[in-house]
Amino acid sequence: MLPIDLRGKRALVAGVADDAGFGFAIAKALAEAGATICLGTWPPALGIFKTLLERGKLDGSLQLADGTKLGFERIYPLDADFDTATEIPAALAESKRYRDHGDVSVAGLAARLSSDFGDPSLDIVIHSLANGPEVKKPLLDTSRKGYLTAVGVSAYSFTSMVARLGPLLRSGGSFLALTYLASERVVPGYGGGMSSAKAALESDTRVLAYEAGRRWGHRVNVISAGPWASRAASAIGFVEQMIDYAQANSPLPEAVTAREVATAAAFLSSPLATGITATTIYVDKGYHAMGVAVDRS
């Protein structure tokens, strides 16, 4: 037996605000392998998420394979659009959804982790963050602001997290992000600069793997997942059609599951994958390999 053993490891999963996305599924898989879990959650969603947890509304989703319940060491407020507190506009910082959370920047998250657990204190960081405010717009109709927001939140935030959390990871740490095939193929309707953001994320992963590997000995990888109907993906507007099309045209003609992405993430974050870095791993039933549609008429 060759188990994925993450006992004694601490993971931070950034971008979890409900139980429907890849981030939540990855947190469960890491916990089942023995890791303890901290979350980074967007401040406007944090209160609702904590309320659902406290009232037991997510208890079914929190059940692990061994019958125990997934618990979180900490749930931190995180707005990855900001690297430091000084970048947060005063009006936003003082708004109802932000004012009680203090420093919600990436640097603020690093400081909280350091204060709570010391240095070094992490082993695994999962970046499950993306935002494209104009994702429904064709690229030709996307504003500069919308484009730069998509790239900043969906791609640069990973660079910011590696830079600020890298010193907090113990030797041999693992960073992992999530991407999508639109980084390299045209997916009409997946607009607003999101395809560019995913391409940047994959390119940055390779550079970060080199730099973080040489500086700290950490690994940096990215999973290119097949389409999944998370609440966040519903913003695209046609995610169900994306899933149906991928299923019909993949070598394995079935939809990818969050569990499949999660277990791949657990493997990549484990000592079993110490030789893998700077790599995009496809978890999409082989859809990325197809050059001609199978269901064409």
Q: How far is CA 286 from CA 197, 250, 251, in A?
A: 22, 6, 6
Measured in whole angstroms, how far is the alpha carbon of residue 276 from the centre of its chain?
18
Q: What's the rounded Cα separation, in Å, for the pair 131 and 109?
A: 19
Q: How many CB atoms lie within 10 A of CB 8?
A: 10
Report the Cα–Cα distance between both ends of the chain, in Å, rounded.
47
Helices 194-216, 157-165: axis angle to 10 degrees equals: 20
Helix extents (H) in 43-193: 43-54, 59-62, 90-93, 106-117, 144-151, 157-165
Measured in whole angstroms, how far is the alpha carbon of residue 268 from the centre of its chain?
14
Active site residue 180: yes
* Among 76, 147, 156, 180, the one annotated catalytic: 180
Active site residue 76: no
| 43, HSE (Cβ side, Cα atoms, 13 Å) | 24
CA neighbor of 155 nearest in space, from 192, 98, 203: 203
* Among 76, 147, 190, 287, the one annotated catalytic: 190
| Residues acting as catalytic residues | 180, 190
